[in-house]
Chains A and B, each alone.
Chain A
Amino acid sequence: MVETKVQSILYLNGVTKSFDGFKAINNLSLDIRPGELRAIIGPNGAGKSTMMDIITGKTKPDEGEVKFRDVIDLTKHDEAEIANMGIGRKFQKPTVIESLSVWENLELALAGHRNVFQTLFFKLDKAQIERIEEILLLIGLQERRAEQARNLSHGQKQWLEIGMLIIQDPELLLVDEPAAGMTDYETMETAKLLKSISENHSVIVVEHDMDFIRALDTKVTVLHEGSVLAEGTLDVVSSNPRVIEVYLGR
């Protein structure tokens, strides 16, 4: 691939999506630079999930541009294609494949080999086995590799899912409320993990937990009623009177 300098890893401009007249996303614009770690906060119904759905191809916007790496129009592709381009998504509710083992979950997410006949005759090579081992170590699940994913604790499932995300080796990671339901310790560990990931990936984190956002120590975007209300460091944003109104006024 010719490596011209990419300006924006993800670029949203004037995106609007309504359901039965209700505007879930309203003229939303967003610009994520390569290697950036961006936190997105906003009250319930601010359009965070819909925004994720639009980026990952689950929902098509009514209007507006969604560009990946400056040139690729994401609205023209489906989920699988977008995932294969290098956008990984972690859901709010951890969704790992319950009846497969931890190892198999990671193997499934391993980069490459997505079509039927490739997977039908697929054999793990040495490098791939090492890669899985590496991720197992990273997410601290070496001991439970043979366990069915349904037997993991909530936190472990979150970590497994993050592991699956990393092993896809995406350029851009969308992480939806990774700290939900985690203990304080786990939350801080997760923040650390994301920061380390963001060293060589672009990451968008959607989160409610202010301590977690603070620990990420990065640029914050506040969403409200489907569009951007404020942007900046957490301190700047949290002193913005409109943000205070939205968060405290209700």
Chain B
Amino acid sequence: MSRKPILQLLLTNDKASRWLFIVMGVLGVLVPILNLAVPADSAFHVPTYMVTLIGKYLCFAMLALALDLIWGYCGILSLGHGAFFALGGYAMGMYLMRQIGDRGVYGNPVLPDFMVFLNWQELPWYWYGFDNFGFALLMVFLAPGLLAFLFGWLAFRSRVTGVYLSIITQALTYALMLAFFRNDMGFGGNNGLTDFKDILGFDLQADSTRVSLFVITLLCLAGAYILCQYITRSKAGRVLISIRDAESRTRFIGYKVEHYKLFVFVVSSLIAGLAGALYVPQIGIINPSEFNPLNSIEIVIWVAIGGRGTLYGAIIGAILVNYAKTTFTSGVFAEYWLFILGALFVITTIYLPRGVVGILDGYRQKVARKKADQAAATPVPQTAGGK
């Protein structure tokens, strides 16, 4: 595949994607300038904590994108996607941990502080190689990808579907949470991995590093979006939709449903892992609570509120809900946040099955109906297939 058709596809066919890219482009240019070039006392200055906060939202948006790919397009409701996010995060965290070197509290050049604290004498084998960024990056994809492959291969092959699948994905992340809480696992137990100093030699506290991480996150989000867009627009994407709508019919047409599910599940886990890896250096900590089933199910509500089955909807949903969360949990309404979140779950599922995007669409369709009726005669095949 050449690059041209994708860009063409994105720029000519899809209004929402175009807007999304414009907004991301503006953010990517404006935020660094307003943070680094505008003096701190200026009204236009974007403080670094804000850069990090937006960066965090973008990571969550990627995670939502990953979930939407499998839930919105293939009907696989994973209640354990936080696990892939956290695994990616841990892989990055392990790299950052090794980078601390002898600057830790105990000054051990090899062992992270928590291992010294536990009286460990040498580095466990699974920590080898994490001092190398390339290896760590490989693990960012490999760890969640392998888990997703193994789990998906078992589950899809034996046709575990629907709520059963949801429940066992939840059990999966729950089991991982319990495991990572254990000190013996060698991942820092309760406290997780934290006190990071620098990444690739750049100080993590420096504004320039923060801004760079922000921009990288934005680029990764754009990349993930294009990838998902490509998949869902390809014929494979239509097979996914057909699996979502009529799984058994799809089999009778001759598609190996389990292969498609496995493929998209693994892709989704990779995106989630990357999101986790970008999240950790910006937030500065990764701990087992990221595996909490509650976190995973929150991802679902981002996607549901944004509008599942539309990729930009997932991004909008993640940012909206997390913005609301930041606003509410820091203010006097902190106690009410869980009420709001609970209500959001109920209201979106009953009244807004297509989320915010559905509301916008409904409005747009009314306006555009007349035009569409006139344009119906135009031959459609051009939109089909990825050319």
Is B a genuine binding partner of A?
yes
Residue ranges of A at the interface with B (Cβ–Cβ < 8 Å): 56, 58, 78-80, 83-84, 88-89, 91, 95-101, 103-104, 107-109, 113-116, 119-124, 129, 132, 145-146, 164, 168
**Beta-carbon contact of B254 and A84 below 8 Å:** yes
Q: Is B182 an interface residue (CB 8 A)?
A: no
**Beta-carbon contact of B239 and A119 below 8 Å:** yes
- Segment 226-274 of B: residues with Cβ below 8 Å from A: 231, 234-236, 238-239, 241-242, 245-246, 248-257, 259-260, 263
**Beta-carbon contact of A107 and B254 below 8 Å:** no
The 10 listed contacts between A and B (C-beta, < 8 Å) are A79-B248, A79-B252, A95-B246, A97-B238, A101-B380, A103-B380, A122-B385, A122-B386, A129-B381, A168-B254
Query: Shortest CB–CB separation between residue A47 and chain B, in angstroms?
Result: 19
Q: Is B23 an interface residue (CB 8 A)?
A: no
**Beta-carbon contact of A146 and B376 below 8 Å:** yes
**Beta-carbon contact of A104 and B252 below 8 Å:** no
Query: Shortest CB–CB separation between residue A141 and chain B, in angstroms?
Result: 12
Q: When A and B form their complex, which 4 residue pairs have the shortest distance between CB atoms, in order from nearest?
A: A83-B254, A79-B251, A146-B380, A119-B236
**Beta-carbon contact of A100 and B238 below 8 Å:** yes
Query: Please, which residues of chain B bring their CB within 8 A of the CB of A95?
Result: 246, 248-249
**Beta-carbon contact of A124 and B246 below 8 Å:** no
Classify the interface of chain B: helix, strand, loop or mixed.
Answer: helix
Give the CA-CA distance A151 to B380 in the complex, in Å.
17
**Beta-carbon contact of B241 and A100 below 8 Å:** yes
**Beta-carbon contact of A124 and B236 below 8 Å:** no
**Beta-carbon contact of A97 and B246 below 8 Å:** yes
Query: Shortest CB–CB separation between residue B158 and chain A, in angstroms?
Result: 12
Give the CA-CA distance A92 to B358 in the complex, in Å.
32
Query: Please, which residues of chain B bring their CB within 8 A of the CB of A113?
Result: 235
Give the CA-CA distance A132 to B253 in the complex, in Å.
16
- Please indicate which of the listed interface residues A95, A113, A122, A145 has the most CB atoms of chain B within 10 Å of its own CB: A122
**Beta-carbon contact of B257 and A119 below 8 Å:** no
Please judge, given known A-B contacts A97-B245, A108-B235, A124-B381, whether A83 and B253 are in contact too, CB under 8 Å: yes
Query: Shortest CB–CB separation between residue B38 and chain A, in angstroms?
Result: 44
Query: Please, which residues of chain A bring their CB within 8 A of the CB of B231?
Result: 120
**Beta-carbon contact of A80 and B255 below 8 Å:** yes
Query: Shortest CB–CB separation between residue A84 and chain B, in angstroms?
Result: 4
Query: Shortest CB–CB separation between residue B144 and chain A, in angstroms?
Result: 19
Query: Shortest CB–CB separation between residue A63 and chain B, in angstroms?
Result: 23
